[in-house]
Each structure stands twice: as structure tokens, then as C-alpha cells.
Amino acid sequence: MRTLVMIRTFLVSSAGLLALSACFPGEQVASPGEVNIYTARHYSSDEAVYAAFTEETGISVNVIEASGDLLIERVRADGERSQADVIITVDAGRLWRAEEAGLFQPAPELDDVLSDVPANLRDPDGAWFGFASRVRVIAYAENRVDPADLGHFTNLADEQWRGRICVRSSGNVYNQSLLASLIASEGEQAAEAWAASLAANMARPPQGGDTDQLRAIAAGECDVAIVNHYYLARLGRTSDQADRTVYDQTGMVFANLGDGGAHVNISGAGLAAQAPNRANAETFLRYLLSERAQRAFAELTNEYPVIASVSYQNPVLDAFGVFEADVLNVDELGENAGAAQRIFDRVGWP
Ligand code: FE
């Protein structure tokens, strides 16, 4: 787990401003200033998005990076002294927690662009919004599993999967949100019965991250695994031959959850409660929904754009095909997270 907090600054080229100053000596040229982005995303490709933002707006970007829960703790601890302008994190469960901690403020100035984001991928109170989406899917060994048996997440509770499932620990927010979604759709009792059966069907005690579950399928340790789609996509686009082999042997189902549709979660952002550079923060949040940024998320981190009209080139996402997404508001993932954690503890899903 990364616990280091790193600070990097993307320097703006000031050549243009200097040239202007030279033309009008004595005249003040307003600097476009900076924006402080506190992010829990662990993708170096986001730097390309920041650099493009600076190139387009002249606003320099200071990045403060920390792992999910640590980031929220840090902003909370700084209180009114917080320099955070924008808070970015993955998984609606974490955004919900940040909102509960009072770390966001509404940004009504963004209403025009936010209306292009599907309503279920935004906070109903307007504190945060999804700028990219990810799907929790079921991966399987192509030579040992019939994907027709995996159409719904509840299928994983069946006897036939005894000793065959790999999944990471319940301490991870992705699984908390998955179970929270099941609580929303099936109720707490049914969700608990499912979690108990799933724990009984595990091939091994939970260990590692999503990529490790995929490698375990290829290694024959298990036949199916629950993972976020982009982990598989990453293996499909790597130059590492061993991981390419994992990808080639692994199939994937956009399994339904609830009444229908795949379990969708988000990478999301919001305007920080203090936001010393509020105007620049709004410019940045708007930029996250721009065509250029939306396309970058699909092409660089293999996530799905939230703006439906955006086109992109990603052969692996194309190969995954189209899917129907669950319309549950992701805010409910946070609301049910506590109940989900209690269920995990009761059923012995470590
Ligand atoms: Fe992830």
C-alpha cells in the first residue's frame, strides 16, 4: 500500500506571458495561477491529463497524492487550513465518506456540464460527480468455465463454484461497494446469505489486489474471480508477455447485479470545501468532462467516459463489447457501506 504523500508541480510555460510583458512594460499581466489537486488515483497516466489542462489554460497544477482513505484523513485533519481545491478519488464509497466528513462544497457554476453526466453517477446533493466509470465484473478461465453460468453475481453463491473463486479482501472498498449494491437491490438478508456462500466458495483466503486474482486464474488456483474491468484491460494492453498470456486465457462477463445491468462505480471529483483557488478548481472540474480528458481516461486508464458522446480508440475496451449498466445511484454504495462491512465480518470474508 502506498502511504507516501507526494507533491509535484507541473510548471506552466511562462514564455507567452513574458512576451506580453515585454510588449507593454510596466503593465501587470495577471497570472492564471494554480490549482491544488488532492488525488487518490494511482495512475501515472493522469499526469498527461494535468499537463494537457495546463497547456490549455495556463493554470499550473499541484498534485498531492495519497492512498484513498489517507487522502480523506489528510484533508479532514487540515480543516479550514486545507489548501485542497479539488478532491479526486476512486469509488463512490470513498466520495460518500469524504462528503460525510464535510470535505466538499457544491459547485452550481458547473450545472451546465454536470447535466451531461448520467444522474446515477452524480451525488444527488451535488457534492461530487463521476468523471469516469468502471465496472466490477466476473473474470473466468476460458478453458474451464461456461460464461453462461455467470450472468448474475448471485450465481457465484451456487454449489458449483465451491473452492473455485478468487477475490480480494473485504477491507477493499471495491468489494464493500459491490456488496452495498447487492444490499440496495436484494435487501440485507439476501446480501448476507450471498456473502456467506461466496466466502464458502473461495479457492483460497483473500490475498493481493485485482490483478493478482487474474493471475491466480491463469495459474490454475481458481476458475473465476471478481475484478474491476480495467485490471483485465491493462493485461490486454501490456507488453509483458506473461501478463499477455494471462489475458489471452481469461474471459470476462459483465455480470448483472440487482434487477439488471452491470455493477458500475466511478472515479469522481468535487470542489473542496475551502478551495483557495475556487475559480481554477471549477475550470479544472469542467476540464475533467471535456472531450480531451474523457478520451484520455478511456485510452490511458481503460475506464469508460461518463459523457456518452465521446469517442475513443481502445481495442481492448472494444473487444469487451457493450453492456447494460445498473442504474442504481452510486451514492447508495456509500450509504450501505457500513452494513456491508458488518456482513463481511459476520460471514467471515476476511
Ligand atoms: Fe483500482
Q: Is there a shared CATH topology between the 14-133+265-311 domain and the 134-263+320-347 domain?
A: yes
Q: Which residues have C-beta within 8 Å of that of residue 125, sequence separation ≥ 6?
A: 99, 106
pLDDT-derived band at 66 (thresholds 50, 70, 90) equals: very high
Separation of 93 CA from ligand 1 center, angstroms?
13
Separation of 29 CA from ligand 1 center, angstroms?
42
d(CA 189, CA 218): 34
pLDDT-derived band at 241 (thresholds 50, 70, 90) equals: very high
Separation of 4 CA from ligand 1 center, angstroms?
17
- CATH architecture classification, 134-263+320-347: 3-Layer(aba) Sandwich (3.40)
Separation of 24 CA from ligand 1 center, angstroms?
50
Alpha helices in the chain (DSSP H): 15-23, 46-57, 68-78, 92-100, 111-114, 173-186, 188-201, 210-218, 229-236, 241-249, 278-288, 291-300, 315-320, 331-335, 337-347
Separation of 5 CA from ligand 1 center, angstroms?
18
pLDDT-derived band at 2 (thresholds 50, 70, 90) equals: very low
CA angle 265, 269, 270 (to 5 degrees): 130
Q: Is the pLDDT of residue 1 over 90?
A: no
Q: Which residues have C-beta within 8 Å of that of residue 286, sequence separation ≥ 6?
A: 110, 113
Q: Is the pLDDT of residue 4 over 50?
A: no
Report pLDDT for 43: 81
Q: Is the pLDDT of residue 149 over 80?
A: yes
106: how many CB neighbours lie within 10 A of its CB?
14
Separation of 306 CA from ligand 1 center, angstroms?
17
Give residue for cell 478532491: 87
Q: Is the pLDDT of residue 120 over 50?
A: yes
Q: Is the pLDDT of residue 28 over 60?
A: no
Separation of 131 CA from ligand 1 center, angstroms?
15
Mean of pLDDT over the chain: 92
Domain ranges of the chain: 14-133+265-311, 134-263+320-347
Q: Which three cell numbers stand for residue 28?
A: 501587470
Separation of 21 CA from ligand 1 center, angstroms?
45
Fold designation for 14-133+265-311? D-Maltodextrin-Binding Protein; domain 2 (3.40.190)
Encode pLDDT of 307-318 as tens digits: 999 999 999 999
Q: Which residues have C-beta within 8 Å of that of residue 214, sequence separation ≥ 6?
A: 139, 225, 227, 231, 232, 235, 246, 250
